[in-house]
């Protein structure tokens, strides 16, 4: 017992003495990933017990770092209702409940605030419509997706707490509901707990645990501010090579902030065969790589400290079209919408829908001869047209039905 006490004392002393040491930071990131991706949390499904345990863990880590709670009513949590159905044709079944974002604030009394986010929810025992695994139900641990991003966010919280970069405040958000359709980030962007007009930029880490041997880090969204292309080439950390794309719209939480005209970046170490499968486990994470990526982002943030509020620019959207489509309307469908028709989440600049005068919030109810009851009908309607052809598109805008001529 005595020996144990001594050991504990030494460990405590050690952890204080080396609070900022690289070894400790790397070790802490391992602890964060291993806990969040453990079977105990059963895949961190939004609305379930595992999600709640993960949220409590993130809140306790925020507290340990010395952040201030910035959720609802002075708590760490920002709750939201969600309804998920993997099959939009069905009105029955699906999942409903309450999800939780976890929010901590580092207040530097600065005029602007940087949002640093990572989703912590995952697929539970295999979320219908998202899991790519065909075997018996099994826990999807989600180590890379996205315990890695959360560990990186927690590293940045500790780092920035001790940094001289004090010209921004920092808001750290662990998002939930991401896998079901960006529910948590959308909800935060709609009812934020801080003034969004004072937000400088938003960084999203989603899947940063599998840095490859060539050390290629994908950075999406560099078209959202002219500053990104100016500063990124100067960030040299551990031989990381940035591979950038322009668009502010992608399949993760930064999209919700880009659509509010906030400059964003999404960091991503790439796809792998364990993606959305039970085998996305903590022992497969490249921890040295995760640490390098985290230092890279910390260096980027410090290099922006003197730049003031970044200019926002809209990006040319690089929409991925399914092979069977020869045309596209140039909109982001609202995958969360559960009414009749296909609601438009965003209209991409200069694309057919934009030119025809369609707007975000419009609900498409007919394309050509095809009545659109859901997103599948919408795709069927689109598949009937070739480039250069015209189509009459009927949308509901509030209570009015509006007809527009779209040229593909």
Cα separations (Å) of 62 from 65, 239, 401?
A: 5, 30, 49
3-class secondary structure, 169: strand
By the 8 A CB rule, do 315 and 249 touch? yes
Nearer to Zn ion, 42 or 374 (CB): 42
Q: How far is the CB of 280 from Zn ion (least distance, A)?
A: 10
Cα separations (Å) of 330 from 263, 355, 407?
A: 21, 10, 11
Residue 14: count other Cβ atoms within 10 Å of its Cβ. 12
Query: Contact letters (x/-) for Zn ion, 155-194, by CB under 5 A?
Result: ----------------------------------------
Pairing of strands 95-106, 370-371: unpaired
Nearer to Zn ion, 182 or 375 (CB): 182
Q: How far is the CB of 267 from Zn ion (least distance, A)?
A: 12
Nearer to Zn ion, 145 or 377 (CB): 145
**From 13-21, 43-51, 137-145, 323-331, span contacting Zn ion (CB under 5 A):** 137-145
Q: How far is the CB of 31 from Zn ion (least distance, A)?
A: 21
Q: Who's near 240: CB < 8 A, 6+ residues apart?
A: 211, 215, 217, 292, 293, 296
Structure tokens at 321: 């079209």
Distance CA 163, CA 161 (A): 6
Estimate to the nearest angstrom the gap between the alpha carbon of 366 and the chain centroid.
32
Nearer to Zn ion, 144 or 374 (CB): 144
Distance CA 272, CA 278 (A): 13
- Of 46, 85, 113, 146, the one binding Zn ion (CB under 5 A) is 146
**From 107-115, 145-153, 161-169, 226-234, span contacting Zn ion (CB under 5 A):** 145-153
- Of 145, 158, 281, 362, the one binding Zn ion (CB under 5 A) is 145
For residue 144, state whether it binds Zn ion (rule: CB under 5 A). Answer: no
Nearer to Zn ion, 251 or 361 (CB): 251
Quote the Cα angle for 248-86-326, to 5°. Answer: 55
Q: How far is the CB of 206 from Zn ion (least distance, A)?
A: 4
Number of residues that bind Zn ion (CB under 5 A): 3
**From 19-27, 142-150, 211-219, 357-365, span contacting Zn ion (CB under 5 A):** 142-150
Nearer to Zn ion, 100 or 396 (CB): 100
By the 8 A CB rule, do 131 and 189 touch? no
Nearer to Zn ion, 128 or 302 (CB): 128
Nearer to Zn ion, 297 or 393 (CB): 297
Q: How far is the CB of 64 from Zn ion (least distance, A)?
A: 25
For residue 206, state whether it binds Zn ion (rule: CB under 5 A). Answer: yes
**From 167-175, 199-207, 255-263, 300-308, span contacting Zn ion (CB under 5 A):** 199-207
Nearer to Zn ion, 32 or 206 (CB): 206
Structure tokens at 394: 């009927």
Nearer to Zn ion, 113 or 176 (CB): 176
Q: How far is the CB of 149 from Zn ion (least distance, A)?
A: 7
**From 141-149, 219-227, 267-275, 309-317, span contacting Zn ion (CB under 5 A):** 141-149
Nearer to Zn ion, 84 or 378 (CB): 84
Distance CA 355, CA 82 (A): 33
**From 33-41, 77-85, 201-209, 253-261, span contacting Zn ion (CB under 5 A):** 201-209
Q: How far is the CB of 209 from Zn ion (least distance, A)?
A: 11
**Strand locations in 155-303 (E):** 169-175, 199-205, 216-220, 241-245, 264-268
For residue 141, state whether it binds Zn ion (rule: CB under 5 A). Answer: no
- Beta pairing partners, 393: 367, 404
Helix ranges (DSSP H) in 49-190: 49-65, 148-161, 178-181, 183-190
Q: How far is the CB of 131 from Zn ion (least distance, A)?
A: 13
**From 36-44, 61-69, 203-211, 386-394, span contacting Zn ion (CB under 5 A):** 203-211
Buried b (16+ CB within 10 A) or exposed e, 315-351: bebeeeeeeeeebbbbbbbbbbbeeebbbbbbbbeeb
Residue with tokens 């580092």: 106
State the residues that interact with Zn ion by CB under 5 A.
145-146, 206
């Amino acid at each position: 017992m005595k020996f144990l006490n001594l050991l504990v004392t030494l460990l405590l002393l050690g952890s204080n003495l080396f609070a900022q040491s690289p070894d400790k930071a790397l070790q802490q990131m391992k602890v964060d990933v291993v806990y969040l991706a453990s079977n105990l949390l059963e895949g961190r499904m939004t609305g379930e017990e595992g999600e709640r345990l993960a949220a409590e863990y993130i809140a306790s880590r925020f507290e340990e770092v010395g952040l201030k709670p910035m959720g609802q009513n002075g708590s760490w949590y920002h709750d939201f209702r969600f309804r998920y159905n993997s099959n939009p044709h069905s009105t029955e079944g699906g999942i409903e409940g309450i999800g939780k974002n976890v929010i901590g604030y580092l207040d530097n009394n600065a005029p602007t605030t940087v949002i640093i986010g990572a989703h912590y929810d995952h697929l539970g025992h295999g979320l219908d419509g998202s899991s790519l695994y065909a075997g018996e139900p099994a826990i999807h641990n989600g180590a890379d997706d996205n315990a890695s991003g959360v560990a990186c966010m927690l590293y940045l919280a500790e780092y920035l707490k001790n940094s001289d970069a004090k010209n921004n405040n920092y808001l750290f958000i662990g998002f939930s509901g991401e896998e079901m359709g960006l529910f948590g980030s959308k909800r935060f962007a709609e009812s934020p707990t801080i003034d969004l007009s004072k937000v400088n930029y938003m960084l999203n880490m989603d899947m940063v645990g599998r840095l490859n041997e060539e050390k290629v880090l994908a950075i999406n969204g560099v078209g959202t501010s002219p500053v990104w292309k100016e500063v990124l080439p100067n960030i040299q950390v551990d031989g990381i090579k940035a591979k950038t794309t322009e668009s502010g719209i992608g399949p993760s939480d930064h999209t919700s902030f880009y659509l509010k005209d906030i400059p964003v970046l999404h960091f991503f170490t790439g796809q792998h065969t364990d993606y959305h499968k039970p085998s996305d486990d903590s022992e497969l994470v490249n921890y040295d790589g995760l640490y390098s990526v985290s230092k890279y982002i910390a260096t980027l943030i410090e290099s922006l400290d003197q730049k003031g509020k970044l200019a926002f620019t809209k990006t040319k959207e690089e929409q991925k079209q399914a092979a069977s489509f020869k045309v596209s309307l140039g909109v982001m469908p609202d995958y969360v919408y559960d009414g009749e028709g296909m609601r438009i989440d965003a209209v991409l600049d200069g694309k057919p829908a934009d030119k025809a005068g369609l707007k975000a919030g419009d609900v498409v109810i007919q394309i050509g001869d095809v009545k659109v009851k859901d997103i599948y009908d919408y795709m069927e309607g689109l598949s009937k047209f070739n480039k250069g052809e015209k189509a009459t598109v009927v949308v509901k805008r509030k209570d009015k039905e509006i007809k527009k001529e779209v040229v593909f």
